Amino acid sequence: MEIVQTLQASPASLRALLDSDDMRDIAEGATSRAHLLAYFRLMRSDGHPLADDTPEPTRQPQSRPGHVELMQAWKPAHDALINHLMACQLCHAPRNRYCPEGQQLRENYHAAYDRSKLLPSPLTLPNPTN
């Protein structure tokens, strides 16, 4: 991690530049930090990127605070419906064909999902770009 911080690099990028022999030498202490630092600097000068240049992922709506609480409102009904559909030979969801028990479970799931939308919305954090 010291090398990662020194080079401002991605651990995955550095690991990708090492083979199994290198990893064994590191584990056995046969390779020094100074040697690794020099090796990675040489790789950087040869054009190998050491930092992950992919942008930081943006938060998806489902990762907002409170999503778990909303999901807990309908997830048990959803799981019950899915478990039934996987075992029932009479139910065929793509054709909207259900046995009486499957139809009841489907209605329960849709009702629970609709009720979850009526729950108070989770707190939203202020947008720092505004």
Q: Residue 88 belongs to what domain range?
A: 62-118
Which residue carries 């559909």 as its tokens? 85
Is residue 55 in some structural domain?
no
90 touches 35 (CB < 8 A): no
pLDDT band for 18, please (50, 70, 90 cuts).
confident
Same domain for 67 and 112? yes
Q: Are residues 12 and 38 in the same domain?
A: yes
Q: What is the DSSP letter of 54?
A: S
3-class DSSP state of 108: helix
Residue 40 domain-assigned (yes or no)? yes
- The answer to whether residues 33 and 71 belong to one domain is no
Q: Sorting pLDDT into bands at 50, 70 and 90, what band is 3?
A: low
Asked if residue 69 lies in contact with residue 122, where contact means CB atoms within 8 angstroms, the answer is yes
Residue 51 lies in a domain: no
C-alpha to C-alpha distance for 130 and 69, rounded to whole angstroms: 28
Number of domains into which the chain is organized: 2
What pLDDT score was predicted for residue 65? Answer: 59
Do the domain assignments include residue 127?
no
Beta bridge partners of residue 92, listed in sequence order = 97
Distance CA 18, CA 130 (A): 43
Q: What is the pLDDT of residues 85-101, one digit of tens each?
A: 999 999 988 888 999 99
Nearest to 71 by CA among 123, 109, 125, 124: 109
- Greater confidence (99 vs 36) lies with 99
Per the domain annotation, does 13 fall within a domain?
Answer: yes
Same-domain check for residues 38 and 73? no
Q: What pLDDT, in 10s, does the model give residues 57-93? A: 555 555 555 677 777 888 899 999 999 999 999 998 8
Query: Do 105 and 71 have their domain in common?
Result: yes
**Residue 21: what pLDDT?**
78
pTM here? Answer: 0.44
Residues 74 and 114 in one domain: yes
